[in-house]
Chain A
Amino acid sequence: MGPDLVFFLLFISISCVTCWSDNGRRHQYDYCVLGAGPAGLQMGYFLSRARRDYIILERSSGPGSFFHRFPRHRKLISINKIHTGSANKEFNLRHDWNSLLSDKSSLLFKRLSSEFYPPADTYPLYLSIFQKELGLKVQYGVDIRNVRAVQMATGVQYLLTDQQASELQCSTLLVATGLWVPQKVDFVGSELVEGYESISTNPEDYKDQTVLILGKGNSAFETAQSIMGRASFVHMLSPSPVRLAWQTHYVGDLRAVNNDLLDTYQLKSLDGLAEANLENIVIAHLKDGDSKKPEKKKKDKKKKKKKLYPRLNKFLLKQEGGKNTSEVSAEELSKYHIDNFSLREPYDRIIRCLGFRFNFSIFHSSARLQNSENAKGRLPSVTAWYEGENSPGLFVLGTAAHSRDYRQSAGGFIHGFRYTVRAVHRVLEYRNHRNPWTSTKLMTSQLQSWILKRVNEVSGLYQMVEVLGDVVLLQGSQCEYVEEFPIQALPQFTSLSGHKVSLQGLIVIIMQYGKKVTDTLGPDRARQINWTTAWRSSFLHPVLYHYDTLPTEEEMRLRPKNWALPRPKAIHHVVEDFLTNWQRPLSHIQPLQRFLEHCLQADLRSFYAESCFQSSLTHRRPPLFCQQGYLKQQGIQHVARPIERVQFSGLMPTKQDGVSSGPDPALANFLAQAGTPVSPGLRLDL
């Protein structure tokens, strides 16, 4: 026993050495989450609930530090709709854009604010309550400066180096650092521009000034809205025209809450919008010596900032062989724009509100994340299950993972990524711990009502439009219902979820808007009341895709234009509904039943016990509904009949004075004597 014990102790001490660094901090975890923002904490919740070995690393002293500073004008534009008229907690999440997912209903955001557009300061407060009450493990003040991937016997491991150069080894790295590096555009004179991150938020500072804002997103309009009451005019410049969220259904586009300036622009009140590619502009100011006014006067005005002149570079650049100074002469200024150039008047301030980009700089080449093709390369490119393309075990969560559904869905926003984080967690649970994706086994006769229940309440599919989908695995009399799978990863469904697809195939349920651009408020916007034209529905509605087998990557790539999924074997659109209640018998339920019947090649109708009785006696087996209900003694009986107090009479042998089990010759005699006319079968030879 002795030597064994020694060995054991030795083992413990060795493992301690490997686990703990000099300053008493552990330096190896199965899961490291970078960033204690909403995505990081959301992942922390799932890891903690699954009792995984994890740590959340946060460089600030508290969670959600981004929200301490942004949005600069301190109003969240994510809606906090508390009163929905429904007690359905899942349904209510459709209209709660701030809460994180947890099993504690007390941890909803509404606890902190009842305002529809809540003040930004409540958000970090909410996050810290969320972290504390769920006991999520966060290390604050750890600023990871470098991330490297190393190949080890156990697979790729990630080594994180913090500001004190201490190292941490992680088997799985979950990057939830968000976007916080201000996005800039290079052009001549860009140094003369102020940034959204540092501008004054006091409207008085803009009194009587002319302001040009670069950008037409929410931060640009938020800024404009704040200063338009003081500034003499506000112009906004960006490559593309304004995109209104209520027209595009994309919450990242301009929200109505910020769009006062559109009013003043279109009601002819000095403000205005213009389009130009920002790379092609130049911002110039007059050379110092260029003023023809006497020195003295100039000194008086010394405090006043120089006026800024935006010009197009094609009028300036070629001048002196590609000059790239922003100092120009007055002569040059007036010469190089066409006569009625929109932005010919000089500006007191030019403010850059171009959003933020992912911080790529901490990733060593061994753990390099590629720039996304969309979103101007501001985001890292990830797989359909949010893993880095060339960095296995490194996942990107939260806003930074928005390249998957940029301008399509809500994956860049709390109310969207809370669900994709859960999806990543489920992927990890299967990959690392062999726990198949959460699923519900249903009797096939219950499938229809389960689908209806889901589409009428589910928030994940509702928020993550065309990104997450429920997958129904058809298995004859049973089916397996897998929730909220990232549908772009369908070709890898089995390896990601641990569920197999049977020969009967699968149904994928997603929510989608109409593919045709319609006038959002026009008279034709919601014309589809007839279920047979449901496929033309323009508002959000459930769509079911039936496949025999999982789509291949090739099929995925060649899917019909604007479709989220390849052409299925059969498709069903549940007609759009003004109340988003897909519960009507004729318009929603029966067409869905027909579709499911077609997919399963079976009669899925429900029957009363009496009909089941008949079909059970006339057929080898009755329809599915009877098999799964009536034959299990759970038939459905007609109602509204007053209870008949029938004492089973006549033949029931239980009757008190009932027949004894033996033959009763007296009866037979009676029968014979009475000479009753009987059918041949009853002509007993007595």
Chain B
Amino acid sequence: MSTDPHRMLVKSRVCFMAALLLLVELGECAEKTNSSELHQFTAVEFYDKLHSGKMMFVYFELQVSPTISLFLAELAKSAEVLQDYGVLVGKADCSKEAIYSYCTDQRQLHTAFLFRGGKEFLGLNLDTVFDVNSIVSEVLFAILREEVKYVHTDADLLAMEKSARGQKDLVLGYVSSLGTQEHRSIMETAYVYGSKYQFILITGGPVLKHLGINETSQSSQVWFLHCQRHSGPRLTSVHCPLTRMKKPLTIISLHSFLQLMEAPLVSEVHEDPTVVPPPQFPYQDTPQVFVFSRPETHHLDLDTATALAWRLRGIATLLLVHRQSPAVKTPDHYNLAYRRPQKSLEVKFVTLHNIDEVLEILSHEEQEAEEEKDGGEEEEDEEDIELHFGSLSDEIAASVYNNRDTFLDMDSITELTSENFHTVVAQSDLTVVLFYLKWDAVSITVLESFIEIADRFADSEVPGVQLCSVDCSEWTDLCSTEVGDSSPFPFQPIISFPTVLMLRPKEAAQHYSGMLGIMALHRFIMLSCQASPVTLSSQEEVTSFLQEVHHPELLGPKPDRMLGLFNTPTNEGVAVFFEAAKSLRGTVLTGLVTGTLAEKWAADQQVELPAVLVFPSWGRHTGPTTLSMSSSAEELLTSISSALLHPLPELTVESLPSVLSVDKGLLLLFVGEEEDEAGLRQNQLLLEEMRKVVELGGDKMEAYVACWIHLGRTPAGLSVLGSYLGSMPPLPALFLTHSPSTDEIYQYPPSTPIRAASVVQWLQRIQDGAEPAAGMLGADTWPPSGKFYDFLKVMDTEEPGSAQQQEPEEEEEEEEDKERVKGKMKNTEVTGSSFSSSSSAAAAHTHSEL
């Protein structure tokens, strides 16, 4: 066949096909359905072409029937295709002029003929050639009969591989039946690539087992056997390494698959993956996988890359990036990058631990791509993927997991154990202890903040404070001494993780119940350093207590302060005050004033002794709030905390909980970030109006807390705002939400200026039910976040009955079984090393004896 003149066309045909493929988006063959009329041979022309050696596929039309016209239509379509392979397709009308023997023999009615080299080459029954796919595939199959080999057993294949080794690569196609589109794809490709690769076509046989597919499998497959190359993994094996084509078999996919097999296994680049150009034709749809190499491990990296490349053959191309190149900017903790041109040209960076994960990512994405095409079952598939490869749906767990390479440097923290606990705690006035579990993501997050704080304390010079941690997954005896035991440690068993305790020598532990973040905890520790209460014995001391500029390290707003005024230090209220002061340590600075100094302060504030003066951080200009002494610490704490509550609190991530804790509706104003002085003034005016609302509303405002969110400082408020209306309203925007009685959200008319009087009216209209709701609060039920993986269902499917309760009557049977077994046991022979074979005969014998 190598002498066949048509083979000469091959080279140009490769180009043609490539061009064709560019035009065709999906795997369907391009064919014109409005095909031109089928070529009609005259007798002269037929003989002329025949003698010139032209390849012809001709049907001799003896009579017309619907079946035949259908066939002729298909034949006409195939003419277009086969023309490219040098085959002239046509019919001869026997009713016009008879071509000898073909037009005379009635048996030819169901046969079309292939002519080649001046003579009839083959007759094909219309049962086998009935449509364009079968015509093209059968004709090409016939033409390539010599070239496309057939193998049946593993041994046949091995023989082929041996002869091809070092010469040619093999392309092995499996089709479950001939004449199909798949068959045609292989034949067309074989025609084009026939000189380059050895094609093999199989339709079954034991060789399939070697290829790892089931003989009953209906799906066509193509393998590429890398026999030409000498290098490659496991060439020590007698078989050539093979790559299976993963995509469904079409001429397009086969073409690009073969192209891909020609691509260099690993290419090396010295640029950052982001600037490496996306894959060029013909690989424009093929993902690129980047792995990184360092000079010192270059050989090793190359080996890894090669191994990976072998596994990715046909799926992606592999590029080895030289990290030492200054152009490579990829952070060190990423060890892999990839680009999926079908999705986007963006390069994604990941950190993977084994090669399988790469395959997972790519197959995952492939699936995704398919999903996009299919639509439909998208959700199901996504969940499947998540089940198997998993991203974490838990917010904190996910961010800890993504940061898992970061090493926590615990140098600035003393690790407490059940052995060193007492010694370490005795060393410092204040020991702040974080109890954590090392696998718990929340614990790890807080531990990171804690380390940050410890570093700051290590840098600054705050005496008498040490930060310690206890790993409760290790020191379980320290964290949770069994209930009922007299615990040697000055705290209750830790049952919530993480927990932060403030320990002072010879004092009961104080539980830190504030925000678990750097700023809040740092502030708390700083404020905790001061005694609570501080005894103030002179006017100067009191003044400095109230005005003292705090340690520069102290973050956040100025602290709240509180003074207790008593006649004598032995006054019965002093104990209550002490108790309250102790529990406020870290949040409120407390001072104790007694005697004449107290009397003077009381007189200034026009209160009776004993009294408590509260100086909220926000209210310096208004003077202190005075409280009369309560009889219990709880009562005192309640009145202190309400005195500390801002009349118009700004909602921040930190402050929201305390605002919500009063359980009132929120009259909530959203303001934007001030861009300039004017903006600042606007916002200040707005807040003024809000204050007026509180004043004007009087008792009616009792049901609400007026508050505001500054979207610049609290960007988290943006999504809140968006969710209220489903869209972003212009700023400022005023809402009434969280009313105890309803889930409805009301928006103050955006076109109306925000003025106290109209706001109060608006509130009244809402109460009267005259305002339409603008939105609804979400339900307070939070159903499971992820799909439940039902093991019982899986067991029931995979091992039916294994997880089912037994039937009541089964029990008796079981007992019978036992009896039988017992009986058998009694009859068992001595079976020893040399003796086991005779036991059955002997057992049979003993039955009769017994």
Contact = CB atoms under 8 A, between A and B. Distances in A.
Interface stretch (A56-64, A150-158, A169-177, A603-611): A603-611
A678 B750 CA distance: 12
B449 A639 contact: yes
Interface string A411-440: 000000000000000000000000000101
A681 B448 contact: no
A532 B717 CA distance: 39
A571 B791 CA distance: 6
Contacts of A631: 657, 660-661
Query: Which of A49, A273, A676 has the most CB atoms of chain B within a 10 A radius of its CB?
Result: A676
Given A558-B808, A590-B393, A613-B656, A534 B751 contact: no
Interface stretch (B61-69, B169-177, B289-297, B614-622): B614-622
A573 B620 contact: no
B396 A608 contact: yes
Interface stretch (A5-13, A36-44, A658-666): A658-666
Interface in A602-622: 602-611, 613-622
A650 B681 CA distance: 9
Interface stretch (B152-160, B196-204, B830-838): B830-838
A330 interface: no
B835 A341 contact: yes
A653 B618 contact: yes
A659 B692 CA distance: 15
A560 B516 contact: no
Contacts of B656: 613, 616-617
Contact of A342 (B443, B805, B830): B830
A87 B794 contact: no
A260 B399 CA distance: 53
A15 interface: no
Interface in A87-134: 87-91, 103, 105
B733 A681 contact: yes
B720 A681 contact: no
Contacts of A621: 780
Contacts of B485: 103
A595 B828 CA distance: 49
* Interface size class of chain B, counting residues whose CB lies under 8 Å from the partner chain: 35 or more
Interface in A648-686: 648, 650-654, 658-661, 663-664, 667-668, 670-671, 674, 676, 678-685
Interface stretch (A192-200, A319-327, A446-454, A468-476): A446-454
B679 to A, nearest CB: 8
Interface in A259-302: 265, 272-277, 279-280
A570 B790 contact: yes
Contacts of B783: 601-603
A312 interface: yes
B475 A452 contact: no
Given A585-B392, A590-B390, A651-B650, A613 B784 contact: no
Interface stretch (B216-224, B320-328, B433-441, B537-545): B433-441
B513 A633 contact: yes
Given A635-B516, A684-B755, A590 B738 contact: no
Interface in A574-629: 583-586, 589-591, 593-595, 597-598, 601-611, 613-624
A343 B685 contact: no
B768 interface: no
A597 B788 contact: yes
B381 to A, nearest CB: 15
A404 B755 CA distance: 78
B784 A619 contact: no
Given A560-B805, A636-B445, A659-B684, A645 B755 contact: no
A608 B395 contact: yes
B473 A618 contact: no
B792 interface: yes
Contacts of B441: 585, 589, 606
A530 interface: yes
B785 A605 contact: yes
Interface in B655-697: 656-658, 660-661, 666, 668, 674, 678-689, 691-692
A449 B829 CA distance: 56
Interface residues of A, number: 135
A620 B778 contact: yes
B784 A602 contact: yes
A610 B653 contact: yes
Contact of B785 (A603, A671, A684): A603
A550 interface: no
A572 B848 CA distance: 52
A558 B620 contact: no
Interface string A318-346: 10000000000000000000101111000
A86 B456 CA distance: 31
B395 A654 contact: no
Nearest to A562: B802
Contacts of A683: 753
Contact of B788 (A89, A557, A598): A598
Count chain B CB atoms within 10 A of each CB in A89, A314, A617 and give the residue with the most.
A617
Contacts of A605: 393-395, 397, 785
Contacts of B834: 340, 342
A411 to B, nearest CB: 22
B803 A560 contact: yes
Contacts of B738: 617, 620
Contacts of A661: 621-622, 691
Interface string B325-346: 0000000000000000000000
A619 B737 CA distance: 10
Contact of B784 (A275, A598, A651, A668): A598
B453 to A, nearest CB: 9
B830 A103 contact: no
A617 B780 CA distance: 11
Contacts of B674: 650
Which of B456, B472, B515, B617 has the most A CB atoms < 10 Å from its CB?
Answer: B515
23 contacts: A87-B417, A88-B474, A276-B831, A280-B826, A318-B849, A449-B440, A557-B811, A561-B802, A572-B791, A584-B439, A589-B439, A591-B789, A611-B716, A617-B737, A618-B724, A624-B782, A638-B445, A639-B449, A654-B620, A658-B621, A661-B621, A671-B681, A685-B755
Given A88-B475, A273-B832, A340-B834, 19 more contacts: A91-B476, A276-B830, A312-B829, A342-B835, A555-B805, A568-B792, A573-B791, A589-B441, A591-B789, A601-B783, A611-B395, A617-B717, A617-B720, A633-B657, A640-B452, A651-B680, A652-B650, A680-B750, A681-B686
